[in-house]
Amino acid sequence: MKTKLKTCFCLLVMTLMVSSLQAQEEKPKLTIGGYGEAFYTRNFFSDNMYRYSHASSYTDAQGHGRIDLPHVVINMGYDFGRGWSFGTEIEFEHGGAESAVEVEAEETGEFEHEIERGGEVALEQFWIQKSFGKGFNIRMGHIIVPVGQTNNAHEPNRFFTCYRPEGEFSIMPCTWHETGISLWGRLGQWRYEAQLIPALNSNMFNNANWVKNGSASPYEFKVANHFAGVLRIDNYSVKDLHLGVSGYIGNCFNNDIVTNEFSETSPYKDVKGTVVIGTAEFDYKAHGLVVRGNFDYGYLGEANLISSWNKNQNHQSFSPYPRSMVGEKALAYGGEVAYDIFSPMKKMGEQKLYLFGRYDYYDTYIPSALTLTDYQWTDRHVMTLGVNYYPIKQVVIKAEYAKRFLKEQYNDEPSFSIGVAYSGFFNK
């Protein structure tokens, strides 16, 4: 009898242990995480708005220092079961926005609204997903648009520079997020994603950032007179190597709350303003070495007419539109190489110390042959040298020296940055 009781007791203990281990291996239903960055930068050049139009006046400018919180993000997910899940992400850019209402004693007690801090608070993700298996998933809601290397890998531990790589960041929205629908999945060594999202708004384009601001909306809603398609394909067939391509296509003209009916003789009657973006990238990691590269090319149809329309609009003074020329094309390419000098030292554990170098080239304004206006200051090369120290996997301390090289009639723009960033989940 005692033997049977002992046997039953042992079986009960083993069952409880197995159940406990299985519970530990199961993914938590609620996941909470995020990432954030805090940096000090010293710019050894002037940020004055006339530094390109009157470059000789700013040759010996002192520059300035700045402290910034580029991105602080909190994300949360929940698994409802039966393939249904939810995800959301709230981002505070540059410390968020602060405002206050005060009573001014020197102004007859009037109430006054003041902005105390610049910045932005944005809901970057808010979606519901139904998974039918690894090969097919449907995601609906506010989603990340994975066009380009940075949009697909925008967390601070997935690039070495203090700020996001300058080329892609300057010509397209980053991090690009829209409300739409996504179909994605992984089949063997291939991953695909296709999206239907609202198209960009050409009224927001400019010469300094091409179509970057076209995803922004000054309204409480996103205008969607036109829609756009996105496709991304990734391959992992070669060990330690990731290859990816992505693309975007959509018409951007007349995609605003005020739509215009043009006469038969109007030069704008048949303007569509088709935006086409194509990107390619690679990412190699092995033996302490990391090598990444990207290439991005963009084309805007009827750029001359869109520039003319934007420049000649009789917008009111508080209009959010830049009223700027926009290039027919934009180009960005770059790459970075890093080596972890701790990688041969097993005693360093999870600590890593990367020495890296990065090169970027980009031009945010490449006019068509018919355009007489050219802004040569948009053509830039950037060289960056720096270090990334990981005391633990989720935390990185970054420092870098960067120099932006412009055409010879302009002043080069050197800077130094140092700071800390984190990325990870709090309950995994």
**Identity of residue 212:** K
pTM of the model: 0.88
Would you say residue 351 lies in a domain? yes
Nearest one of 75, 199, 194 to 146, comparing CA atoms = 194
Would you say residue 330 lies in a domain? yes
CA distances from 86 to 140, 178, 320 (A): 10, 16, 33
Would you say residue 25 lies in a domain? no
The Cα–Cα gap between 184 and 127 comes to 14
From first to last of the 428 residues of the chain, give the pLDDT tens digit.
445 545 544 444 454 344 444 444 456 699 999 999 999 999 999 988 889 988 988 888 889 999 999 999 999 999 999 999 999 999 998 887 765 555 555 444 555 555 556 678 888 999 999 999 999 999 999 999 999 999 999 999 999 999 999 999 999 999 999 999 999 999 999 999 999 999 999 999 999 999 999 998 878 889 999 999 999 999 999 999 999 999 999 999 999 888 888 888 899 999 999 999 999 999 999 999 999 999 999 999 999 999 999 888 765 555 678 888 999 999 999 999 999 999 999 888 899 999 999 999 999 999 988 887 889 999 999 999 999 999 999 999 999 999 999 999 999 999 999 999 999 998 87
> What's the confidence (pLDDT) of residue 49?
85
Would you say residue 93 lies in a domain? yes
CA 322 to chain centre: 21
The Cα–Cα gap between 160 and 416 comes to 14
CATH assignment of the domain containing 285: 2.40.160.10
Nearest one of 145, 148, 144, 187 to 167, comparing CA atoms = 148
How far is the first Cα of the chain from the last one, in angstroms, to the nearest whole number? 45
CA 184 to chain centre: 20
> What's the confidence (pLDDT) of residue 62?
86
The Cα–Cα gap between 242 and 280 comes to 11
> What's the confidence (pLDDT) of residue 355?
98
Would you say residue 5 lies in a domain? no
Residue 68, strand partner residues: 39
Three-state SS string over the chain comes to CHHHHHHHHHHHHHHHHHHHHHHHHCCCCEEEEEEEEEEEEEECCCCCCCCCCCHHHHCCCCCEEEEECCCEEEEEEEEEECCEEEEEEEEEECCCCEEEEEEEHHHCCEEEEEEEECCEEEEEEEEEEEECCCCCEEEEEEEECCCCHHHHCCCHHHCCCCCCCHHHHHHCCCCCEEEEEEEEEEECCEEEEEEEEECCCHHHCECCCECHHHHCCCCCCCCCCCEEEEEEEEECCCCCEEEEEEEEEEECCCCCCCCCCCCCCCCCCCCCCEEEEEEEEEEEEECCEEEEEEEEEEEECCHHHHHHHHHHCCCCCCCCCCCCCCCCEEEEEEEEEEEECCCCCHHHCCCEEEEEEEEEEEEEEECCCCCCCCCHHHEEEEEEEEEEEEEECCEEEEEEEEEEECCCCCCCEEEEEEEEEEEEECCC
Cα dihedral angle (73, 122, 320, 411), rounded to 10 degrees? 10
The Cα–Cα gap between 73 and 133 comes to 29
How many folded domains does the chain comprise? 1
The Cα–Cα gap between 198 and 222 comes to 8
The Cα–Cα gap between 247 and 244 comes to 11
Would you say residue 410 lies in a domain? yes
Domain that holds residue 168: 30-98+112-425
> What's the confidence (pLDDT) of residue 317?
54
The Cα–Cα gap between 373 and 327 comes to 10
Other C-beta atoms within 10 Å of 348: how many?
13
> What's the confidence (pLDDT) of residue 101?
55
Would you say residue 11 lies in a domain? no
Would you say residue 248 lies in a domain? yes
